[in-house]
Chain A
Amino acid sequence: MTDIKLKIFPWLLAGTLTLGVSLAHAADTIKVGVLHSLSGTMAISETTLKDTVLMLIDAQNKKGGLLGKKLEAVVVDPASNWPLFAEKARELLQKDKVAAVFGCWTSVSRKSVLPVFEELNGILFYPVQYEGEESSKNVFYTGAAPNQQAIPAVDYLMKDLEVKRWVLAGTDYVYPRTTNKILEAYLKAKGVKAEDILINYTPFGHSDWQSIVAEIKKFGSAGKKTAVVSTINGDANVPFYKELGNQGVSAKDIPVVAFSVGEEELSGIDTKPLVGHLAAWNYFMSVKDKANDAFIKDWHAFIKNDKRVTNDPMEAHYIGFNMWVKAVEKAKTTDSDKVIAAMIGIEAPNLTGGVAKMLPNHHITKPVYIGEIQADGQFDVVWKTKGLVEGDAWSDFLPGSKDIIADWADPKIKCGNYNTVAKTCSGQNYK
């Protein structure tokens, strides 16, 4: 039995050491971290984004790299496990010393890595539409804030479709909760009565929608035009739309506008019952634009499958990556502080013919499109905002945050959470 000791002890110690010792390496490449789940429940959405970043890095290297060096992708798999996100973020920043990280999808994964990025002063590009109420020095939010997706969509329903009654249906987590809170406040401000708003939350992956669709049907038969604003997440959408179709609720009767259903999600859905339902995004694959056509072509070539679709978070990474490249070129270094400073004001073309600009609150300007789902799984744009909408980190429609602003450019503020009334800045971990 003594041999166990002999066998295990050096083994463990050796493991410890190899784990910890980061090999010194020549700085001939700039490392870029990719922090997207490749397994687990979120793999379904995030794998595509990993490939997108790899494609962008590939393209940049073909253009000669950055600052005369090649870019090198460091891909890790946080496996849809939130503590693992933090661990992997630390690994990327501390062990691999990456210059920037492109990653995260869910809010909880972002919340999990946030302290790590702030502590180690890394840079994270977060490409997904989210609930707002956050602005970190170290994070650039290239997805939509609520005012870049939800509010314009509701405006469209209210004005163009004359919707009077509202069902706010969402999965029970922070993004739908915030979005619905903002929308509720917004609708009430527009004179919608409380009894004309129905709010419903369901768990992740909810699959039996019979009762809820029946309730929506009943709610919608009160004689006023009714619409569903859906923040239902991922997997729960398929059974939801199927049930809608089966119970005979068509887009003509009760349109559903979704904020989490894009081209990629539609590719896994039988779209027949969905035709005519709506989605609000800042990008659609169907938008006719030279940059978009080129992007789609590159994507199909890169992924070696011309049936693959493109979607909004991919565009967000496209914009974010190009902004980062420009900022590094401007700062002439990958040093975090300098790049973060250089980021604000950087402009990069988006894929729909406009130009996205990085704002002092670390959000960007975006156009908002409303698309109708087509039988081929694409969206037809039925409405778009006149110009670009500036992302607002802190919603004006929430009592807790209407006085709060984020401004990382103004030397007097330099804060993501500045209360304009109290003139203080709170909730910042690292100054």
Chain B
Amino acid sequence: MSELISELDAGGMHAPVEPVDASHGILLYLEGVSVTFDGFKAIDNLSLYVADGELRCVIGPNGAGKTTMMDIITGKTKPDAGRVFFGQTIDLLQLDEPAIARIGIGRKFQKPTVIEPLTVLENLELAMSGAKRLRGLLTTRLAGAERDRIAAVLERVGLTAQAGRLAGILAHGQKQWLEIGMLLMQEPRLLLVDEPVAGMTPAEMERTAELLKSLAGEHSVVVVEHDMGFVRSIADKVTVLHQGRVLAEGALEDLQADPRVIEVYLGDGHAAG
């Protein structure tokens, strides 16, 4: 039992001791990854590299494998083939979700997932890195430094005024920001953000774009998004997924001229733009 308690904090099954080594400028490697569900190839020999500090947008029609790709990176789904590395040394396929979260990969879900019966403050406290040891959990108070960190994140996501409110009664956009704030509390190197602006007003969208842009550099950010306007407003580099593969990669303007991309989007009934 004591081993278990101490392990509450340990990295995971095969916890890497070394820090993330992004010395080659690349933070995330996906190479030749495939996964099949009941004969359906959700991801088919996908290779993708995310640079350190980069803000990457991933687009693609429904069923292109965007969410599955995120599942693989965060350890929710194990691929049938391929390699997934975080930096030079950390094999993500050897780790489970909590371990991946702890080495610095944060994930925001498509549907905003905050803990509704808790206050905004408590949500952020929950996400705080370094508080996941059992002894740390069995306390009812916040240390001063912790308070400062939370205040900083609150400020950053613009929820300072809402700190004491229940997350469940926040507006939709605020929930999205709170979730991003929770990711920030984890102090991640890589943020995976799934459809951050779905259902947002234009004003909220604008703020979100600013927030995400401000995160790049300090963190690597991968954004999966449908809204082309939003993608245009934030992205330097865009990856188009189709049928589980990378169809094209590059600047958005180039891609919009790419006949393959146009066909995929038009053929699928989506308008690009």
Chains A and B in contact, CB within 8 Å: no
